């Protein structure tokens, strides 16, 4: 959702021995971003109010791709920790890289959510529920740990200054919001009564954790832009990360409102249904405002010569959350305008995903994206 997505900086050091898997040495936690960006295409496509012939099948294929990508990246990152622990620790102590550790949680959660909404068509509902339960539990636990651990490291170990503030700082704070958005999918599969109510309220608690933390961080990011000027060209796409907590929180309140009647008493269920619209509409309005600003700055950066980097994946997952948020609002209000908004945002998401995926595959084939940072930055 990295610099989201910027390749981690590499310390000056001798090349590792061949048996130490050198190809994995510079593979940082930002590589979970393509997994997130792919899974959200499947989930958002299935959530759209308008469904074209073959659309569901296409979403199934994209979900299968995201699941395969998650398995590959998990294995590669395990190899990174096994063979290059010094580099992995250096990533945690690097304020430009550490926030990307929140992407692991979101990759697990997004694939899990897509499994239950789309993958069930291929593997069956029972298997999809089991897979999502495992991914949700692991992703939520990791997300909550990173929401504390990364800010803690920024306070006590990292040396950061106000001008270093970027939307990447939001990554570990958004992970609990993703849990709040995908958790409702599991509620109908729990036993009625306490289990359903407990998960419902836990999701609202995680909604609050992420929302309040984001509200504290956003002024630092906006202040940095106004006082310090535009971000460096390669980091400009990370401006779209701000859409993540906005779109995901709107998605969360609408998803929770859908299942509230099955989990909690009538007065509260009705109130939560109203809250989904009362909260979601203003937040979606602000998301569109920020999207316009981010697009203007992205066009400026492109005209100034911005080339491809892994930050381009920041154009996918955050926009996808706005698709699901707008679709949820369309579902609860019945407004055609919101349904069209969701469709338009999905087209933008699909375009960004195709561009990012094509450039990533080309970078992997050439070896550029797995080279040391200095080499990867060369054209």
Q: What is the pLDDT of residues 236-264, one digit of tens each?
A: 999 999 999 999 999 999 999 999 999 99
Region 22-27 average pLDDT? 78
Span 118-127, average pLDDT = 96
The pLDDT score that the predictor gives to residue 20 is 58
Look at residues 148, 103, 121, 159 and name the one whose alpha carbon lies nearest to residue 317.
Answer: 103
Alpha-carbon gap, residue 153 to 226, rounded angstroms: 26
Read off the DSSP letter of residue 14: P
pLDDT of residue 250: 98
How confident is the prediction for the chain on average, in pLDDT?
Answer: 91
Q: Confirm if 182 and 235 have CB atoms less than 8 A apart.
A: no
Q: What is the structure's pLDDT at 95?
A: 87
pLDDT at residue 80, rounded to an integer: 86
How many percent of the chain have pLDDT more than 70? 92
CB 40, CB 58: distance < 8 Å? no
pLDDT band at 375 (very low <50, low <70, confident <90, very high): very low
pLDDT of residue 29: 92
- CA dihedral sign of residues 355, 356, 361, 364: positive
What pTM was computed for the model? 0.90
Q: Is the dihedral of CA 210, 213, 216, 219 positive or negative?
A: negative
| Separation in Å, CA 280 to CA 26, 201, 252, 284 | 40, 18, 9, 6
334: left (phi over 0), alpha (psi -120 to 50) or beta: left
**Which tens digit of pLDDT belongs to each residue from 272-286?**
999 999 999 999 999
Residue 222 pLDDT exceeds 70: yes
Residue 17 confidence (pLDDT) above 50: no
Phi-psi region of 140 (alpha: psi -120 to 50; beta: other; left: phi over 0): alpha
């Amino acid at each position: 959702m990295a610099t989201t997505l910027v390749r981690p900086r590499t310390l000056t050091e001798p090349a590792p021995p061949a048996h130490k898997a050198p190809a994995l040495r510079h593979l940082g936690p930002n590589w979970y971003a393509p997994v997130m960006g792919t899974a959200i295409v499947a989930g958002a496509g299935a959530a759209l109010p308008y469904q074209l012939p073959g659309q569901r099948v296409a979403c199934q294929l994209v979900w299968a791709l995201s699941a395969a990508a998650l398995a590959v990246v998990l294995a590669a990152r395990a190899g990174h920790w096994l063979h290059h622990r010094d580099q992995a620790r250096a990533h945690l102590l690097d304020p430009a890289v550490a926030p990307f550790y929140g992407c692991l949680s979101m990759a697990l959660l997004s694939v899990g959510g897509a499994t239950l909404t789309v993958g069930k068509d291929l593997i069956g509902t029972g298997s999809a529920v089991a897979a999502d339960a495992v991914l949700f539990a692991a992703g939520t636990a990791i997300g909550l740990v990173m929401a504390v651990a990364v800010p803690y490291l920024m306070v006590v170990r990292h040396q950061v200054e106000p001008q270093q503030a970027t939307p990447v700082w939001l990554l570990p704070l958004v992970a609990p919001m993703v849990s709040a958005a995908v958790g409702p999918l599991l509620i109908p599969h729990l036993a009625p009564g306490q289990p359903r109510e407990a998960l419902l309220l836990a999701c609202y608690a995680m909604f609050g954790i992420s929302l309040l933390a984001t509200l504290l961080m956003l002024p630092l990011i906006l202040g940095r832009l106004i006082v310090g000027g535009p971000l460096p060209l390669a980091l400009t796409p990370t401006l779209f990360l701000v859409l993540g907590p906005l779109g995901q929180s709107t998605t969360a309140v609408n998803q929770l409102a859908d299942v509230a009647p099955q989990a909690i008493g009538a007065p509260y269920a009705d109130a939560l249904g109203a809250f989904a619209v009362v909260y979601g509409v203003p937040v979606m309005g602000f998301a569109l405002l920020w999207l316009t600003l981010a697009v203007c700055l992205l066009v400026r950066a492109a005209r100034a010569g911005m080339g491809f980097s892994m930050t381009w994946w920041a154009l996918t997952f955050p926009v996808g959350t706005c698709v699901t948020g707008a679709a949820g609002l369309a579902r609860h209000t019945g407004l055609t305008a919101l349904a069209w908004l969701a469709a338009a945002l999905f087209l933008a998401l699909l375009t960004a995903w195709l561009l990012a995926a094509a450039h990533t595959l080309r970078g992997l084939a050439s070896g550029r994206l797995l080279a040391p940072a200095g080499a990867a930055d060369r054209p």
